[in-house]
Amino acid sequence: MRAAVLREAGRLAIEVLDVPEPGPGEIRVQVRATGVCHTDLTVVEGKMPVPRPVVLGHEGAGVVDAVGAGVADLSVGDHVVLTITPGCGVCRQCQLGALGLCEVAAPHMIDGRLSYGQQRLTKGAERINHFALQSSFAEYAVVDRRAAVKVPDDVPFDIACLTACGVSTGFGAAVVRAGVEAGETVLVIGAGGVGLAAVLGAVTAGAARVIVADRSAAACQLAEDLGATDSIVVDEDTNLVSRVRALTRGTGGGGLGGGGGGVDVAIDAVGTGGTAAAAFNALRRGGRAVVVGVADPRATVSVPLYHLIDQRVLTGSTNGSIRPQVDIPRILDLYRAGRLPLDRLVTRRYPLEDIGQAMAELGVKPGRAVITF
């Protein structure tokens, strides 16, 4: 099968690998579409310690092509989305409902293995590493059955795939993790695939106002097209917190050093020390900031102690803290009902051979790129 393999930082190459065989409790999926998420680029750039050679890609959707022993509830021909947070279902974190923190599967997100530590990718005698429990930049992916979410046949693969990571992360950050309530004001920093999905989540939850900040005017425009009420094009000199406070003056009361105004919820879909602190500092007293961006995996965040005393919350989220088997079908039902325009997030479609171009455009061109097979 053809797959995009990363052997050295900065260079993805199409290679022919063996078609992987599903073991017990696993399925093989013929990948039909996979979104290109910024986390893949972070690995390509060598900023995340993933063992190489590796097949990246973690926003896959496709058709079940073979089922391993013991898989009774999925059949060849079923349409599935490959979730990055399958969970094992039985560990303490899974039982508490935090599947993204699963004690069994989560440690394997970036160690080259699948949910239970197994490896299925080979090129002759050579072992090839997995990424994010799926490796969807390939014609076929073998995954743990729990990593597959059955979805309706009428959802196009290039839409369904978005819910594997970017859409579930952004939508879930707003709806699940932050719990946006009707009438609230939400700030989203970074309007890429994840941030735009956070805008859609906030709008779906009934936010009265959704303020977006991005370096790109085109990204801000797309966010407004998707329902953002205000946008701020930022550069290095922008004081985002004071701009947001000026826009929201009279709505919150800032507390010590707050300066008035402030948003109920802020979502950082960029992920630097600066953007995470800005998200937190733009909150009203008692507001909630959720960091989902990881532009710099080694970043630290420093915030005023008194803003914590004022009951502002700074937290983060893996994959929007969703319950994949519940929330992915729900998100797609909203799409099918015409109430969530996921199709407008997809601005570019490429064959696997053009994966390099899709990567190079991340954060440059607005919207999501999808590889279709």
Ligand X SMILES: NC(=O)c1ccc[n+]([C@@H]2O[C@H](COP(=O)([O-])OP(=O)(O)OC[C@H]3O[C@@H](n4cnc5c(N)ncnc54)[C@H](O)[C@@H]3O)[C@@H](O)[C@H]2O)c1
In the list 165, 241, 265, 289, the residue contacting ligand X (rule: CB under 6 A) is 165
Query: What is the DSSP code (8-state) at residue 218?
Result: H
Q: Which of 215, 243, 330, 349 binds ligand X (CB under 6 A)?
A: 215
Site membership for Zn ion, residue 136 (CB under 5 A): no
Task: Quickly tell me which residue has 């750039």 as its tokens.
Answer: 45
Contact flag: residue 102 with Zn ion (CB under 5 A)? yes
| b/e 136-171 (16+ beta carbons within 10 angstroms → b) | bbbbbbbbbbbbbbbbeeebbbbbbbbbbbbbbbbb
The yes or no reply on residue 32 touching ligand X (CB under 6 A) is no
Q: 277-299: b or e for each residue (b if 16 or more CB lie within 10 Å)?
A: bbbbbbbbbebbbbbbbbbbeeb
Q: Looking at 37-45, 61-69, 279-287, 339-347, which segment touches ligand X (CB under 6 A)?
A: 37-45
Nearest distance in Å: CB 34, ligand X: 13
Task: Give the one residue of 216, 229, 248, 321 binding ligand X; rule: CB under 6 A.
Answer: 216
DSSP 138: B
Structure token pair of residue 288: 């909630």
> 212-247 as b/e, with b when 16 or more CB fall inside 10 Å?
bbbebeebbbbbbebbbbbbbebeeeeebbebbbeb
> Quick check: bond before 53 cis, omega within 30?
yes
**Which 233-262 positions form the footprint of ligand X (CB under 6 A)?**
234
Residue 281 interacts with ligand X (CB under 6 A)?
A: no
Near ligand X by CB under 6 A: residue from 25, 304, 341, 363: 363
Instruction: Using the rule CB under 6 A, give the single segment among 49-57, 149-157, 267-275, 343-351 that binds ligand X.
Output: 267-275
194 is an interface residue for ligand X by CB under 6 A: yes
Is 53 an interacting residue with respect to ligand X (CB under 6 A)? no
Residue 215 contact among ligand X, Zn ion, none, beta carbon within 5 to 8 Å by kind: ligand X
Neighbours of 119 (CB within 10 A): 15
**Which of 189, 210, 279, 290 is in the footprint of ligand X by CB under 6 A?**
189
Query: Least Å distance between CB 259 and Zn ion?
Result: 35
- Cα 59 from Cα 192, distance rounded (Å): 15
User: Contact with Zn ion (CB under 5 A): which of 17, 33, 36, 37?
Assistant: 37
Site for ligand X in 283-342 (CB under 6 A): 292-295, 317-319
| CA atoms of 367 and 345, how far apart (whole Å) | 5
Q: Which of 20, 57, 87, 366 binds Zn ion (CB under 5 A)?
A: 87
Kindly tell me which of 37 and 295 has the beta carbon lying closer to Zn ion.
37
Strand residues in 135-262 grouped as ranges (E): 140-144, 148-150, 185-189, 209-214, 230-233
Binding site for ligand X (CB under 6 A): 37-39, 42, 165-166, 169, 189-195, 213-216, 219, 234, 269-271, 275, 292-295, 317-319, 362-363
